[in-house]
């Protein structure tokens, strides 16, 4: 099994598409997109699909709160990314912090999906 596509149900397609492309730097794959569904490619990792919640024919359309999701992005310079997102107006939930596994911070997208960035701690010998 290979996790390679994550779908987020969004309330405002234009706002979400702009957020993920302009604030996070993802690229739209036009051949896999439509007016109610956008496929995004991050620099590395799984594709992300944005589904217009109101236009969906699937059960999540009717769910007010389907659960909580967090998209985590591995990055080398946590503090630099935090500053970039701050300058772009991304809703930052935490400042960068050191946790037992490494450095981390959390943010949110326009629909309230959690976003995080992390860097694993380098092993000590």
Domain total of the chain = 2
DSSP 94: S
Full-prediction pTM beyond 0.85? no
Q: Which of 56, 79, 97 is the last residue of a domain?
A: 56
Q: Are 52 and 37 in contact (CB under 8 A)?
A: yes
**Residues 74 and 48 grouped into a single domain:** no
119: in domain: yes
51: in domain: yes
Q: What is the pLDDT of residues 1-59, one digit of tens each?
A: 677 899 999 989 999 999 999 999 999 999 999 999 999 999 998 999 999 988 887 77
Q: Which of 26, 56, 86 is the last residue of a domain?
A: 56
Which range of residues forms the domain containing residue 84?
67-125
Q: What is the pLDDT of residues 73-117, one digit of tens each?
A: 999 999 999 999 999 999 999 999 999 899 999 999 998 889 999
CATH code assigned at 111: 3.10.180.10
Cα 87 from Cα 64, distance rounded (Å) = 31
**Residues 124 and 71 grouped into a single domain:** yes
């Amino acid at each position: 099994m290979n996790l390679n596509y994550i779908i987020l149900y969004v309330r405002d397609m234009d706002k979400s598409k702009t957020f993920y492309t302009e604030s996070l730097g993802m690229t739209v794959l036009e051949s896999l997109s439509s007016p109610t569904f956008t496929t995004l490619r991050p620099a590395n990792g799984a594709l992300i699909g944005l589904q217009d919640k109101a236009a969906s024919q699937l059960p999540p359309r009717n769910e007010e709160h389907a659960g909580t999701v967090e998209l985590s992005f591995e990055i080398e310079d946590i503090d630099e990314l935090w500053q970039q997102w701050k300058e772009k107006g991304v809703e930052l939930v935490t400042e960068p912090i050191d946790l037992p596994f490494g450095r981390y911070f959390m943010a949110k997208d326009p629909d309230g999906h959690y976003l995080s960035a992390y860097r694993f701690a380098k092993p000590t010998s």
